[in-house]
Amino acid sequence: MDNKAETDLTDAQSAPPAATDLVAALQAVLPPHCILFREEDTRPFECDGLSLYRALPAVVCLPETEAQIQAVMRICRKLNAPVVPRGAGTGLSGGAMPHPQGVLLGLSKLNRIKRIDRDSATAVVEPGVRNLAISEAAAPYGLYYAPDPSSQIACSIGGNVAENSGGVRCMKYGLTVHNILRVRVVTIDGDIVELGSEAPDAPGLDLLAVFIGSEGMLGVVTEITVKLLPKPACAQVLLASFNSAEAAGHAVTRIIGAGIIPAGLEMMDRQAIHMVEPFVQAGYDMDAQAILLCESDGTREEVDHEVERMEAVLGAAGATRLQVSTSEPERLRFWAGRKNAFPAAGRVSPDYYCMDGTIPRRHLARVLTAIEQMEDEFGLRCANVFHAGDGNLHPLILFDSNKPEETERADKFGVAILELCVQVGGTVTGEHGVGMEKINQMCVQFSREELDTFLAVKRAFDPRCLLNPQKVIPTLARCAEYGKMHVHGGELRFPDLSRF
Amino acid sequence: MDNKAETDLTDAQSAPPAATDLVAALQAVLPPHCILFREEDTRPFECDGLSLYRALPAVVCLPETEAQIQAVMRICRKLNAPVVPRGAGTGLSGGAMPHPQGVLLGLSKLNRIKRIDRDSATAVVEPGVRNLAISEAAAPYGLYYAPDPSSQIACSIGGNVAENSGGVRCMKYGLTVHNILRVRVVTIDGDIVELGSEAPDAPGLDLLAVFIGSEGMLGVVTEITVKLLPKPACAQVLLASFNSAEAAGHAVTRIIGAGIIPAGLEMMDRQAIHMVEPFVQAGYDMDAQAILLCESDGTREEVDHEVERMEAVLGAAGATRLQVSTSEPERLRFWAGRKNAFPAAGRVSPDYYCMDGTIPRRHLARVLTAIEQMEDEFGLRCANVFHAGDGNLHPLILFDSNKPEETERADKFGVAILELCVQVGGTVTGEHGVGMEKINQMCVQFSREELDTFLAVKRAFDPRCLLNPQKVIPTLARCAEYGKMHVHGGELRFPDLSRF
């Protein structure tokens, strides 16, 4: 930042600054086209992919360089202004919802792929680069970036780092945290720190892992070194039908138990199949109560061998029909059904609410049965489409928001699912983040001591809690108000769900 | 803890307590056989596997329950007494060296395997359980625990968590951090927090990852949920000879580049081969300048296919001789050479100093050449035996400690190697930890802002820095005294090593 800007800064104060003061301070360090503060300009930034939560920011900054980000952070620190970082705005938990008195810091202009290194199979990229763009740039070298959230055409790698995004492939190839080697970060003080390294492991505390998935609460990432993988020579998908979701759940456990790690292991229940098939014509078995999609990738020989083993395990687990893709177009068609499940839900129901709980795999069958019972209880349909191999559920609760009473039931249904996940030893979110949406459920997931530990680590990076405030970590007051208690160690954590 | 003990505690004070006060307070909460304070009893705890650093603790506590650990922690917090946790004492960086005014907290009595769950392929164990004992207990279910540090017969899983231990298999199966799902921790306040979960990912900050490898600085682990893997049906090892260490280094890059992830990829240079072969008769090629050991595991078909691919790649990379193990005894014999390299060094040299730097794999050849040049410069021999696939070097510097001047040269040689590792983008320690040994090199590895971030996170868990104090994170004063500067971003971080 230039010296003029530094001397223009007023002293620290305890309340957030007036919007005009904030804008004036920012105008001293950013070119005019990088600052938006008129309502018609800030309106497009009022929410992310979860449009339920909206707010207009005091100002939107769209910096073009790391030095500009440092300057913005120093101003915010000095003026006590909240900072909400934003990637491509595709997040599903309100993590990028603006603070009305703060800066919405958009990173879309930092979108260069700086280096692709074929020998070390790494790429150095800026945070605004789209997930899929990395794989496209690496393709000439026979490499790709593995994590594939369903928004991968649009979402940015910086957002993936903030949310620790997953995807279909993450069972075999890991989450974002397993595919990032190093990040360069601007702290709230405007300092630069680098976390992680290109070499395996790193001395000292593993702050790279704590940064990945920190939902914009610890710092702003300006450069990312990602791992690239050799593109598998071929891939095939196996479609297996089952007479019950329970049987499909058990089949998942048996595949993993056989030591097979598929490159994708997805489940769709009857509701989801009937929602998707008329829309996509993927070739799904309309008579099945549940289907599994099991992908194998590798060399020709590896795929042949693995597909054969999966057929044997699925057959023994009671599959009523088995289809193996015989060509690349057929493989893509089989996947098209899964990948279009969300739009398909929009076709059969005015609204849907997508949950993101995870559970230990061994409880898959039990939890699916419980969700079925909840459909009756809440009087709403729920389609299940999810990363079965990871135990990462995406129940889609179908409802009509024009009927307020139905919205309320959908909300309660969602909460009941998430709390059931916690009850069986799972979590309230797998890959979509906590953000605004699941902050109450964090009271159920964690004890007060655990939330205090989160908060202490948050403060280690950001003592005044200016970075993405009032998200992710609930206060004691909020948990008291929510009125749900966390109890460690017992099998049943909330008696009211003990019937499932 | 009982109420009597609580009321017996004196107020907090700023200096550590007198040993007699500390012992008296501990006697109120621990049975007599769990406290050692006479010199003859505490002497066996004066050092870990790095005997260069020694100190007698004020008192040794060997608790038998989590509640006793909570009581000890509350006393230490109240009396301001340092606490140094200790597993099996096999660490190689002085991480468990006692504090002379503090408690050495030995966890060896917490050694129960609480549960092995075949379906979820997990085990719940106490920290004092030996690494190998987990695999032995899981064997009847066809499962095992993957990380295999060379001390695995003796080292404890709690120590593995503290050091984020690796081993030969960690290239394919990950470090400790990739094989632990959950830990239960007693904080310095005596509270219980659980980090991680059995379900994939976890909401909020990834404090499990930051805890693993934190070298006893954040809390004391009392229960660990580990991932188990299905035992591979078979394994074979391929031995490849090369005309130069450089050629072997390039071959490693080509194997990874071909998308093969061996279950072990180790390198030994000529010095190491000639040290080991007369001792072990492993069948190594005495004419080679370097050999690679490449392990394949999986089903019969997978292993056949992978060995064939590795033979092709290694042949194309200039291997002068290729041998594939044809039986399990032969496979074990091939590995026996690698696994006995350290004892073999003891046979040919009065002393050896084992380093643990990591480097990006693409710099293997360059760094090995530089180490060869350093042998001339420092007038000492160095044998290289290491996890080539991970870029984790274990140079063994051979010297005679009876010649003080030689010890000094060995020390300088070691420092030069570590700083070269940092220069090429690597780290000063892969799997042995920082502890006491590499604290100066942390000044070279990290910037002041980065070390401050470590310290802030450390304080988030332990505000008064009572847990394993004066280790791992160097103070500003120490770095100033060491006189080495860290400079980010440039290719050459210290001009004095630019000649390599």
**B359-413 pLDDT per residue, tens:** 988 888 889 889 999 999 999 999 999 899 888 999 999 999 899 899 899 989 9
Sheet with A192-196, strands from edge to edge, namely A113-117, A122-125, A220-227, A180-186, A192-196
> Domain range spanning residue B98?
25-106
Residue B451, token pair as written in the block: 């070390």
pLDDT band at B339 (very low <50, low <70, confident <90, very high): confident
pLDDT band at A52 (very low <50, low <70, confident <90, very high): confident
User: Do both A224 and A240 map to the same domain?
Assistant: no
| Residue A484 confidence (pLDDT) | 65
Mean pLDDT is highest, among A134-148, A472-486, B468-482, for A134-148
* Chain B residues near residue A446 by CB distance under 8 angstroms: 204
User: Do both A219 and A270 map to the same domain?
Assistant: no
Interface probe, candidates A193, A205, A304, A356, chain B, greatest B C-beta count within 10 A = A205
Q: Cβ separation of B207 and A212 shorter than 8 Å?
A: no
Q: Cβ separation of A197 and B426 shorter than 8 Å?
A: yes
* Chain A residues near residue B450 by CB distance under 8 angstroms: 193-195
Q: Name the residue among A162, A386, A262, A180 with its Cα closest to residue B199.
A: A386
**Residues in CB range of A91: below 8 A, 6 or more apart:** A48, A49, A50, A159, A162, A163, A432, A433, A435
* CB of B269 closer than 8 Å to CB of B235: no
User: Do both B238 and B263 map to the same domain?
Assistant: yes
Nearest CA in chain B to A434: B203
Residue B358, token pair as written in the block: 């990591």
Question: Does A488 reside within a domain?
Answer: no
Which residue of A205, A360, A472 is in closest CB contact with B204? A472
Q: Name the residue among A187, A209, A280, A104 with its Cα closest to residue B453.
A: A187
Using the predicted structure, report yes or no on whether residue B430 has a pLDDT greater than 90: no
* Chain A residues near residue B143 by CB distance under 8 angstroms: none
Phi, psi values for residue B228, rounded to 5°: -115, 155
Question: Which is more confident, A29 or B477?
Answer: A29
User: Domain holding B374: CATH number?
Assistant: 3.40.462.10
User: Do both B183 and B290 map to the same domain?
Assistant: no
Q: Cβ separation of B197 and A258 shorter than 8 Å?
A: no
Q: Cβ separation of A430 and B359 shorter than 8 Å?
A: no
Q: Name the residue among A83, A91, A28, A87 with its Cα closest to residue A59.
A: A83
Nearest CA in chain A to B434: A203
| Residue B13 confidence (pLDDT) | 43
Dump pLDDT digits (tens) for B121-176. 999 999 999 999 999 999 999 999 999 998 899 999 999 999 999 988 988 999 99
User: Do both B202 and B302 map to the same domain?
Assistant: no
Q: Name the residue among A210, A221, A200 with its Cα closest to residue B458.
A: A210
User: Do both B413 and B273 map to the same domain?
Assistant: yes
Q: Cβ separation of B199 and A425 shorter than 8 Å?
A: yes
What is the residue type of A129?
Answer: V
| Residue B212 confidence (pLDDT) | 97
Question: Which is more confident, A495 or A446?
Answer: A446
Q: Name the residue among A173, A61, A156 with its Cα closest to residue A113.
A: A156
From residue B226, give the alpha-carbon distance in Å to each of A6, A118, A424, B157, B187: 51, 35, 18, 9, 21
Question: Does B455 reside within a domain?
Answer: no
> What kind and span of H or E run contains A61?
strand A59-61
Q: Cβ separation of B194 and A450 shorter than 8 Å?
A: yes
| Residue A9 confidence (pLDDT) | 34
User: Residue A83, SS3?
Assistant: strand
From residue B107, give the alpha-carbon distance in Å to each of B66, B73, B78: 10, 13, 21
| Residue B365 confidence (pLDDT) | 83
pLDDT band at A352 (very low <50, low <70, confident <90, very high): confident
Question: Does B350 reside within a domain?
Answer: yes
Question: Does B78 reside within a domain?
Answer: yes
pLDDT band at A12 (very low <50, low <70, confident <90, very high): very low
Find tokens 């098209």 and name the residue.
A336
Question: Does B436 reside within a domain?
Answer: no
pLDDT > 90 in chain A, percent: 75
Which residue of A425, A461, A472 is in closest CB contact with B197? A425
Using the predicted structure, report yes or no on whether residue A40 has a pLDDT greater than 90: yes
Using the predicted structure, report yes or no on whether residue A496 has a pLDDT greater than 60: no
User: Do both B207 and B249 map to the same domain?
Assistant: no
User: Do both A213 and A292 map to the same domain?
Assistant: no
* Chain B residues near residue A449 by CB distance under 8 angstroms: 187, 191-193
Phi, psi values for residue A367, rounded to 5°: -70, -40
Question: Which is more confident, B458 or A490?
Answer: B458
| Residue A258 confidence (pLDDT) | 87
Question: Does B77 reside within a domain?
Answer: yes
Question: Does A483 reside within a domain?
Answer: no
Last residue of a domain, one of B367, B390, B424: B424
* Chain B residues near residue A210 by CB distance under 8 angstroms: 205-207, 209-210, 457
Interface probe, candidates A417, A437, A453, A468, chain B, greatest B C-beta count within 10 A = A453
Q: Cβ separation of B430 and A199 shorter than 8 Å?
A: yes
User: Do both B240 and B318 map to the same domain?
Assistant: yes
Phi, psi values for residue B85, rounded to 5°: -75, 150
Nearest CA in chain A to B308: A301
pLDDT band at B499 (very low <50, low <70, confident <90, very high): very low
Domain count, chain B: 3
| CA angle in degrees (0–180, nearest 5) for B424-B365-B389 | 85
Q: Partners of B128 in the beta sheet? A: none
**Residues in CB range of A204: below 8 A, 6 or more apart:** B434, B442, B445, B446, B451, B454, B472, B473
Using the predicted structure, report yes or no on whether residue B456 has a pLDDT greater than 50: yes
Dump pLDDT digits (tens) for B52-95. 789 999 999 999 999 999 999 999 999 999 999 999 999 989 99
| Residue B484 confidence (pLDDT) | 65
Nearest CA in chain A to B471: A204
User: Do both B99 and B208 map to the same domain?
Assistant: no
Mean pLDDT of A126-131: 98
pLDDT band at B7 (very low <50, low <70, confident <90, very high): very low
Question: Does B324 reside within a domain?
Answer: yes
Helices and strands: H and E segment counts in chain A: 18, 18
Mean pLDDT of A391-400: 92
Interface probe, candidates A198, A356, A445, chain B, greatest B C-beta count within 10 A = A198
User: Do both A248 and A200 map to the same domain?
Assistant: no
pLDDT band at A494 (very low <50, low <70, confident <90, very high): very low
Which residue of B175, B199, B202 is in closest CB contact with A201? B175
Torsion on CA atoms B469, B472, B477, B479, rounded to nearest 10:
170
User: Do both A163 and A298 map to the same domain?
Assistant: no
Mean pLDDT of A127-137: 98
Using the predicted structure, report yes or no on whether residue B6 has a pLDDT greater than 60: no
* CB of A125 closer than 8 Å to CB of A113: yes
A435: left (phi over 0), alpha (psi -120 to 50) or beta: left
Residue A274, token pair as written in the block: 């009937």
* Chain A residues near residue B213 by CB distance under 8 angstroms: 201, 205-206
Residue A345, token pair as written in the block: 């839900």
Last residue of a domain, one of B368, B394, B424: B424
Dump pLDDT digits (tens) for A449-480. 999 999 999 999 999 999 999 999 998 889 98
User: Domain holding B191: CATH number?
Assistant: 3.30.465.10
Using the predicted structure, report yes or no on whether residue A489 has a pLDDT greater than 70: no
- Which range is least confidently modeled, A150-154, A193-197, A488-492, B134-138? A488-492
Last residue of a domain, one of A178, A200, A230: A230
Q: How many CB pairs under 8 A join A and B?
A: 230
Question: Which is more confident, A363 or A160?
Answer: A160
Q: Cβ separation of A230 and B427 shorter than 8 Å?
A: no
| Residue B14 confidence (pLDDT) | 67
Using the predicted structure, report yes or no on whether residue B5 has a pLDDT greater than 70: no
User: Domain holding B70: CATH number?
Assistant: 3.30.43.10
Torsion on CA atoms B290, B296, B300, B304, rounded to nearest 10:
-50
